[in-house]
Amino acid sequence: GAAMAHGPGRCRCCCGEEAVAERGAAWGLYLRIDRQRLQCLNERREGSGALVFRAWEQRGDRAQFVESDDDEELLFNIPFTGSVKLKGVLVMGEDDGTHPAEMRLFRNIPHMSFDDTAREPEQTFSLNRDPLGELEYPTKIARFSSVHHLSIHFPKNFGAETTKIFYIGLKGEWAEAHRHEVTICNYEASANPADHKLEQITPQTHFIS
């Protein structure tokens, strides 16, 4: 059944422009980053780490990049504005020793420091040099199905003193943060005998169980 959707005559994904638009849209998670709280540790120029999260079509803009400062390590703390199912990551650097050689992904550990990177990541990738931004690293989706904070650690590069990254693409789906938790708290509050006012207005105690 479902496989037939791509049968002869039906598949329109091969037409150049449409494919590009579709591909660009797939890498739209940068729009879901909470940029006020985005951090990049060991960046040489403050705020430069945020520049590498941009539209897929703009990945070739080599004026925007982040370079590490004291050594070759970089650590990104990326909070999202909702829940993300992360499907793939793309990392674009120079075709030389400054390109990161390894990438480690951690989920839902806000404010990670370099000390925290000693723990076991959810997934580790060996990277190839990708100056054109063509290589996609697929995640183990089961491990990244409800991510509200992603940390990306680049522990080493291909031999240079510093690491340089032009673009990081994040591919996946985004869902709004759940709002129903608020309602649950209200019910609990009304079941609390200490909360006399609520008790009198809405005697909802028997709805709790």
The 3-class secondary structure across 98-129, one letter per residue, is CCECEEEEEECCCCCCHHHHHCCCCEEEECCC
Q: How confident is the model at residue 56 (pLDDT cuts 50, 70, 90)?
A: very high
Q: What percent of the chain has pLDDT over 70?
A: 75
Q: How confident is the model at residue 22 (pLDDT cuts 50, 70, 90)?
A: confident
pTM: 0.77
List alpha helices for the chain, DSSP H: 16-26, 180-190, 196-201
Q: Distance (Å, rounded) from C-alpha 142 to C-alpha 87?
A: 9
Q: Which 3 state secondary structure label does DSSP give 173?
A: strand
When the pLDDT of each residue in the chain is averaged and rounded to a whole number, the result is: 84
- 200 DSSP β-pair partners: none
Q: How confident is the model at residue 6 (pLDDT cuts 50, 70, 90)?
A: very low
| Whether the predicted pLDDT of 21 surpasses 50 | yes
Q: Distance (Å, rounded) from C-alpha 131 to C-alpha 95?
A: 5
In the chain, DSSP finds a helix count (H) and a strand count (E) of 3, 8
Q: Residues 63, 68, 73, 76: is their CA dihedral positive or negative? A: negative
| Whether the predicted pLDDT of 157 surpasses 70 | yes
pLDDT at 30: 96
| Whether the predicted pLDDT of 2 surpasses 90 | no
Element (H, E) at 78: strand 74-93
Average pLDDT rounded to a whole number, residues 82-97: 97
Q: Among 3.30.420.40, 3.80.30.20, 2.60.120.470, 3.40.30.10, what is the CATH number of 34-175?
A: 2.60.120.470
